[in-house]
């Protein structure tokens, strides 16, 4: 049986440097030699914070006539420990799965039909296997791979949750149901549902594990846009697998899915960071600390909650209608913007986070949030947005992907 080994997931027409991302669908890049700005369509609407640091190298694909921009940000040259080419075309993960995975999962299938609609829900594929069984398949592109661990999704995804719930429902009506995660880079050791960004999806994956078959496969992509399945040793040698019509052996390419930590999302306990932007200097009274002066800039506050983590963070965000209890409550009303960063964890990581933030060179606000421990502070000021600093993202990924899970 002839098998296709490579899928062209993008075309490399030119390269540029990332400048900024005005919205989810627009990236401004710059020519590395002339500095000319190049508006580009962004085909991945997710968070992708790790790829949107100024100066990140982009691969651009020329768009067909009629688009609002002349270019698409097709891929990123990403150095997350080792350089990888990361496609940003999340929608093309479907075609990659159709080309590289489904023919091997379902050898001699009677039918592979894209975009199948049933009961008002549309799924990526309906497969009728050689025995006549019907399989509903949803493909999910995963680009968040750090510390050897892939996590999906990188931002809350109600759409992904609804797909999972509907697949679980249809599994009781005679369909075999599947979610296939296409990991866009990194060849990780495991995939974990991202309980930090989308606890509801993580809980659902654990709940429906016996009814929805979930599998994950990693892609290895070269700079020309050629994608192949990756194994632990590198790209798969299909000839050595000796794939036959009777066999859909994808074991060398499959990434284990770890569902052991989904209960953490249900426990609703852990630590968190809050990123506040102050546009102007303010001088305010902060409880027992007295009057403090806060210069313009970005501030990161770290805290924890033994239970009710989501409610604690939501309370902190509110600018009015609450008693001023924690130090951060006094500062929040003056923030131009607020971003919460929950970290569900088995143990309290609040002081560990403070130590890590201090090591970044931020200015500690003495005793802020730390009067009940030995830390210098739990609030740190930075001149520029920490979300645009690789050092901060390294801390975030280390705590979310490893420390929070006891790994």
Out of 145-149, 200-204, 279-283, which region has the weakest mean confidence (pLDDT)? 145-149
Closest-CA residue to 167 (of 119, 202, 227, 234): 119
What is the separation of C-alpha 65 from the centre of its chain, rounded to a whole number of angstroms? 31
pLDDT greater at residue 334 or residue 242: 334
**Spatial separation of the C-alpha atoms in residues 123 and 201, rounded to whole Å:** 17
Structure confidence at residue 244 (pLDDT): 36
Structure confidence at residue 122 (pLDDT): 95
Q: Which sign, positive or negative, has the C-alpha torsion 52, 55, 58, 60?
A: positive
* Chain segment 209-220, per-residue pLDDT in tens: 999 999 999 999
pLDDT greater at residue 320 or residue 296: 296
Q: Is the pLDDT of residue 239 over 70?
A: no
Q: Which CATH architecture has domain 90-263?
A: 3-Layer(aba) Sandwich (3.40)
Does domain 9-79 correspond to CATH entry 3.40.50.10800?
no
pLDDT greater at residue 245 or residue 125: 125
**What are the sequence ranges of the domains in the chain?**
9-79, 90-263, 268-405
Q: Is the pLDDT of residue 245 over 60?
A: no
Structure confidence at residue 241 (pLDDT): 36
Pairing, β 282-285 against β 14-23: unpaired
Structure confidence at residue 174 (pLDDT): 94
Identify the residue whose tokens are 């002349």.
70
Topology agreement, domain 9-79 and domain 90-263: no
* Chain segment 176-198, per-residue pLDDT in tens: 999 999 999 988 999 999 999 99
The pTM score is 0.91
Tell me the β-bridge partners of 87. Answer: 75
For the chain, what percent of residues have pLDDT higher than 70? 94
């Amino acid at each position: 049986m002839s098998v296709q080994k490579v899928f062209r997931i993008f075309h490399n027409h030119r390269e540029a440097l990332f400048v900024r991302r005005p919205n989810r669908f627009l990236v401004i890049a710059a020519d590395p030699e002339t500095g000319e700005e190049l508006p580009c369509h962004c085909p991945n609407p997710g968070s992708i914070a790790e790829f949107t640091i100024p100066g990140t190298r982009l691969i651009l694909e020329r768009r067909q006539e009629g688009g609002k921009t002349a270019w698409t940000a097709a891929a990123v040259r990403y150095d997350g420990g080792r350089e990888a080419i990361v496609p940003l075309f999340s929608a093309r993960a479907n075609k990659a799965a159709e080309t590289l995975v489904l023919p091997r999962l379902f050898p001699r299938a009677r039918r592979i039909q894209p975009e199948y609609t049933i009961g008002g829900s549309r799924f990526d594929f309906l497969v009728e296997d050689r025995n006549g069984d019907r399989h509903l398949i949803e493909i999910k592109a995963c680009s968040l791979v750090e510390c050897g661990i892939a996590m999906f999704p990188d931002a809350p995804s109600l759409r992904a949750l609804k797909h999972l719930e509907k697949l679980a429902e249809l599994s009781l009506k005679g369909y075999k149901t599947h979610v296939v995660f296409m990991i866009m880079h990194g060849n990780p050791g495991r995939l974990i549902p991202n309980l930090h960004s989308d606890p509801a999806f993580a809980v659902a994956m654990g709940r429906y594990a016996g009814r929805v078959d979930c599998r994950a496969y990693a892609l290895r992509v070269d700079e020309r846009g050629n994608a192949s399945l990756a194994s632990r040793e590198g790209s798969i040698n299909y000839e050595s697998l000796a794939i036959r019509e009777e066999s859909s052996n994808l074991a060398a390419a499959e990434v284990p899915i770890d569902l052991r930590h989904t209960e953490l999302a249900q426990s609703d306990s852990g630590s968190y960071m809050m990123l506040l932007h102050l546009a102007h200097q303010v001088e305010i009274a902060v409880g027992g600390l007295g009057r403090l002066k806060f210069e313009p800039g970005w501030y990161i506050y770290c805290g924890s909650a033994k239970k009710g983590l989501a409610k604690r963070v939501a309370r902190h965000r509110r600018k009015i209608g609450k008693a001023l209890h924690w130090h951060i409550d006094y500062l929040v009303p003056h923030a131009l913007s607020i971003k919460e960063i929950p970290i569900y964890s088995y143990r309290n990581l609040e002081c560990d986070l403070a130590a890590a933030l201090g090591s970044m060179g931020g200015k500690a606000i003495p005793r802020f949030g730390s009067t009940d421990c030995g830390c210098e502070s739990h609030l740190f000021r930075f001149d520029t947005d920490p979300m645009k600093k690789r050092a901060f993202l390294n801390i975030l990924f280390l705590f979310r992907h490893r420390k929070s899970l006891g790994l």
